[in-house]
A and B are shown apart, each in its own frame.
Chain A
Amino acid sequence: MFLQQLINGLMLGSTYSLIAMGYTLVLGVLQMLNIAHGDVFMFGAFLGLTFALLGIPLYWALLLAMLGAGIISILVERFCFRPLRKAHFLGPLLSTIAFGILLQNVATQIWGSEPSRYPQTTEIAQFQLGPILISSIHIIILATSLFLMVAIDQLVKRTRMGRAMRATSENQTNASLLGVDIFWVFTFTFFASGAMAGVAGVLTALVYLQITPFIGIRQGLIGMVAMVIGGLGNLRGAMIGGILIGIMEVMNDAYLTAGYRDMIVFGLFFLFLIFKPEGLFGTTSRES
């Protein structure tokens, strides 16, 4: 039973990790908190839903949703970040709050505020692995998440774009002087962040099977919590933070009352910010 919950927690947590890593990417490279991120996640889920309803197979739907969410995230960059980046840091933050509300309303107009059911597009196979029951959904989610997490991690560590991102996060002026096209970095960072959120959206929808335009609020917040617990700006920290929260949530629901679950998560959020703001694994971002 415990192992089963662990697997479920891992699965849920990996979706949180994706969202958290998206937050961390933007925060780490651009020193900005993108509050619209959760709503990009929501949009990704709905895009996946739309493609699935059109009969597109899951993997393609995932890819298209990823692209769509990435593009929406680029819109956030263009409107909320780029014109305001030199002003007071609150500017982009406030703007993303407004943009998020816009996204929620657009989604409500397109898909309605009532829950939308996710169609069954793949056969759900189930495997018995000792005491644990694993479904193909588990595998899809875990595999996709893991793949993306490793991909982003390696991208930041080893590729030229990754180096450009790290240089930009240190000092935008210097990076630009050293030949980095910082605007391309801005765009790419937001795209990557949104893409991960989009994938997380589709995967989450596979877990819960129904979505509303307001799921972004809660999931986005949880992603933020994961980011803080892992350490602001720390990609690997965000990864682990998300998984820890997922496991903790599932354990809470299994062994304690489900009601207090969110309170514990947000309580941890608050306590970490006050007593351990560097997170479990240390922060790499500068103070805003």
Chain B
Amino acid sequence: MSVYLEGVLALMGINILMALSVYAILTTDQLSLGNAGFMAIGAYTSAYLTVKSGVPLLPAILAGAIVSSIVGLLVAIPVLRLKGIYLVMATLGFGEIVRTFFMNFEPTGGAYGFRGPSGATLPLIYGWVLAALFFFWLLTRSRLGRSLDAVRDDPEVASTVGLHVTLLKIGAFGLGAFIAGAAGGLYAHYMFYIESNNFNFLVSAMAILFVILGGMETFWGAVVGAIIFSILPEALRFMKDWRLSLYGAVLVSMMIFRPSGILTRQMIRDLGEWFERIFRSARTEDA
């Protein structure tokens, strides 16, 4: 595999994780504009552990993700009291605070960045991607997933059917932070060098755009959106420079004409039933 192709696939894997981190928080109808901040925390934490403390790669990335999710849970507690625009802006502010923090934090290089983390391979990255997909698959079929759906549909009514809405929202935030933190750790150890500007608002914005494109209703949408964004530049090589404009234009149009995104929940439901029918007919054929 060429180094170039490997690079594309590696970044695609990280993009999928970032998109899933946005989706995770979106499951309770909250929008986080600051996931780049969680990515940064995971990146710097894991990089520091491997480079300065000799911690092995996998535990370091896990540690980065855990630290990120703890910060996420702590931040969620005051932030989730806010509604609407205030919540969105608070997440935006958080992301910027983290970015500017790392720009000044000497132990991880400050403005000069952090050089050294390495060791992330495609199998490792996609191992995490598969684990995340498996987790979301389990979530969709579980009682917890149903609780999240209810909270997303109508948090007030959800509370009257006995669901602890605040806890669920905070948990969703922590989950998103964990995934973004893992993405950050993998990114740092693939790129060999990170600096605070790698985790700016645009990164958060792009992750959101992946989810909008692919579809906000299911986690597969986040995956599809990230894949399209990552692969398309290669397919559209001829308009390489203008592809961000294309994305922007496509997304603005999508919001107007198909706000649910490419994949809708109904599609996934139908797909699931179609599979079930095939398995059932295959089984009766055996009998």
Q: Which residues of A are in contact with B by a Cβ distance under 8 Å?
A: 27, 33, 79-80, 83-84, 87, 89-91, 93-95, 97-106, 108-109, 217, 221, 224-225, 228, 232, 257, 259-260, 262-263, 266-267, 269-270, 273-274, 277, 287-288
Contact = CB atoms under 8 A, between A and B. Distances in A.
A259 B209 contact: no
A103 B101 CA distance: 28
A98 B248 contact: yes
B260 to A, nearest CB: 11
Interface stretch (B121-129, B180-188, B219-227, B251-259): B251-259
Contacts of B249: 98, 102
B200 interface: yes
A175 to B, nearest CB: 21
Contacts of A232: 85
B251 A98 contact: yes
Interface in B75-101: 78-79, 81-86, 88-90, 92-94, 96-97, 100-101
Contact of B89 (A95, A105, A224): A224
Nearest to A227: B89
B281 interface: no
Interface of B: 31, 78-79, 81-86, 88-90, 92-94, 96-97, 100-101, 103-104, 110-111, 200-202, 205-206, 208-209, 212, 241-245, 247-249, 251-252, 255-256, 259
Contact of A274 (B90, B206, B251): B90
Contacts of A108: 241, 244
A263 B255 contact: no
Contacts of B85: 27, 33, 89, 93, 232, 288
A93 B245 CA distance: 18
A132 to B, nearest CB: 31
B86 A273 contact: yes
A277 B84 CA distance: 12
Nearest to A95: B255
A103 B100 CA distance: 25
B101 A263 contact: yes
Contact of B94 (A97, A104, A260, A270): A270
Contacts of B201: 217, 221
B93 A269 contact: yes
B83 A80 contact: no
Given A263-B97, A274-B90, A99 B252 contact: yes
A95 B252 contact: yes
Nearest to A269: B93
A94 B255 contact: yes
Contact of A33 (B88, B205, B241): B88
A221 B252 CA distance: 21
A259 B110 contact: yes
Contacts of A84: 255-256, 259
A221 B96 contact: yes
Contacts of B94: 270
A142 B113 CA distance: 37
Contacts of B256: 79, 83-84, 95
Contact of A105 (B103, B212, B242, B259): B242
A94 B245 contact: no
10 contacts: A84-B255, A84-B259, A94-B212, A109-B241, A109-B245, A221-B96, A224-B92, A266-B93, A269-B93, A274-B90
Contacts of B200: 217
Contact of B255 (A80, A105, A270): A80
Contacts of A225: 93
Given A97-B209, A109-B242, A273-B86, A102 B248 contact: yes
B31 A274 contact: no
Contact of A273 (B89, B110, B247): B89
Nearest to A75: B252
B245 A266 contact: no
Contacts of A97: 205, 208-209
